[in-house]
Chains A and B, each alone.
Chain A
Amino acid sequence: MHEISIKITINEKIYDRSILPNTLLIDFLREELGLTGTHVGCDTSQCGACMVLHNNAAIKACSILVAQLNNQEITTIEHLQKDDKLHPMQNAFRNNHGLQCGFCTPGMIMSAISLINENNSPTEEEIRKHLEGNLCRCTGYQNIVKSIEEGAKDMREKG
């Protein structure tokens, strides 16, 4: 099997790489680039721990090939913080203790930002429905939902 050349922008940095075609985005991020903030939970597209942003919407990095993303852009959890300041959604998760063990948190935050990008003032019901693709094995959903409500408000206010 031949390696293929790809050009992919991750967190505003362009990477020109030669990769094996079967390289999944999640493995590329974690193993090649050392961006381990994006987690591997189920590895079967159920849990959402591996969510990253593509065109401002969350997708699951365990279920897409890097080859499918040639000339495209991805944002990971590492790139949310700007000038040493947490992203409003990260801050909201901290304020509301929107995590227990923290394993699902990066995916939850990316998923939440994706929701707010589409709908900047979701109801509690809309937030819960949106989280269908994110699992928290600690079952800490109450505070996650609270966090997203606050994060949405802060994102609206900060434009």
Chain B
Amino acid sequence: MYNFNFHSPNSIEEAINIYNSSEEPKFLAGGMTLLASMKQRLIAPSDIIDLRNIKDLSEVSSKENHITIGSLCTHSEISNNVIIKNKIKNLAKLANGIGDPAVRKMGTIGGSIANSDPAADWPAAILALKANIKTNNRIILNRDLFTGMFETSLEENEIITSIEIQVPDFFDYIKFPNPASRYAIVGIAIAKYDNNVIVTVSGASHKPFIADSLSESLSKNFSSKIPLKTISLDELNEDIHASAEYRAHLIDVLTKKIINNN
């Protein structure tokens, strides 16, 4: 790992000031992707700005039918949080399926979302649920956040502060993990609000996406009789782990599995 200047600001304002006056800075949350990338010299920031000393970013709260999750909550904290377990229990289950226990102790929801790994678990869930991403200066609608592979609509010096989610009538997420990395070869999230169902897919393309036909079909009839092979193979990744066709099949299989488990 190349060297860098290290900062641990106590406030968002301070963090942004440091960012603006540094050459090639990076914000650090849990570091579960950033540090690994720096060790491999895929990235060499001039300055690392550790966000973990900033207060109030690690809280979970609920108000009426919404929950708010602070961006620095770790996957482990989310999986054990009573509010989340009561309101959207499968969100706690999702958190408990990321990486391994030691990774979950460090990795954060905000870090994962800002990183926008196409095979990560949180982005699919955030996209399926009615969710807003709050940053230090605005609110971003979930559908406007994930713009590409490791790309988001966040400005470089913008920090996610929390994620606000409307509690759904039903939510679940399951993945078919790569046996070595545990990243999703395909992951499916389904969120239902009244008769409005959204199905999202992670791992299968360059970014998480909404499966329109599946969403439409499940909105009309929430049963496992879904239309098959609705996703164009051109949209899907093809690599040593799985062909596009295999991923398309997994999308149908996992969607049905969620409905049948319901």
Chain A residues engaging chain B, CB cutoff 8 angstroms:
1-2, 4, 20-22, 24, 43-45, 48, 51, 54, 57-60, 63-65, 67-68, 70, 111, 114-115, 130, 132-134
With both beta carbons as reference points, the residue of chain B lying nearest to A52 in the complex is identified as B102
Contact of B86 with A by CB under 8 A: no
With both beta carbons as reference points, the residue of chain A lying nearest to B40 in the complex is identified as A44
By the criterion CB–CB under 8 Å, are A22 and B1 in contact?
A: yes
With both beta carbons as reference points, the residue of chain A lying nearest to B53 in the complex is identified as A70
> Out of B2, B5, B35, B36, which one reaches A65, CB within 8 Å?
B35
Chain A interface, DSSP helix/strand/loop, else mixed: mixed
Separation of A105 and B262 alpha carbons in the complex (Å): 41
The list of the 6 closest CB pairs from A to B, nearest first, reads: A133-B100, A21-B6, A1-B3, A132-B100, A67-B6, A22-B3
By the criterion CB–CB under 8 Å, are B39 and A44 in contact?
A: yes
Least distance between B48 CB and chain A CB atoms (Å)? 7
By the criterion CB–CB under 8 Å, are B36 and A45 in contact?
A: yes
Contact of B31 with A by CB under 8 A: yes
Contact of B150 with A by CB under 8 A: no
Chain B residues engaging chain A, CB cutoff 8 angstroms:
1-6, 8, 28, 31-32, 35-36, 38-39, 48, 50, 52, 76, 99-103, 105-106, 182
Also in contact, A21 and B102, with CB within 8 A (given A65-B6, A65-B31): no
> Out of B8, B52, B76, B102, which one reaches A60, CB within 8 Å?
B102
> Out of B36, B48, B101, which one reaches A63, CB within 8 Å?
B36
By the criterion CB–CB under 8 Å, are B106 and A64 in contact?
A: yes
User: In the assembled complex, which residues on chain A have CB atoms less than 8 Å from the CB atom of B8?
Assistant: 67, 70
With both beta carbons as reference points, the residue of chain A lying nearest to B96 in the complex is identified as A129
By the criterion CB–CB under 8 Å, are A48 and B100 in contact?
A: yes
User: In the assembled complex, which residues on chain B have CB atoms less than 8 Å from the CB atom of A43?
Assistant: 39
Least distance between B38 CB and chain A CB atoms (Å)? 8
User: In the assembled complex, which residues on chain A have CB atoms less than 8 Å from the CB atom of B32?
Assistant: 45, 63
User: In the assembled complex, which residues on chain B have CB atoms less than 8 Å from the CB atom of A59?
Assistant: 102, 105-106
> Out of B2, B50, B101, B105, which one reaches A132, CB within 8 Å?
B101
Separation of A130 and B99 alpha carbons in the complex (Å): 11
Separation of A20 and B1 alpha carbons in the complex (Å): 11
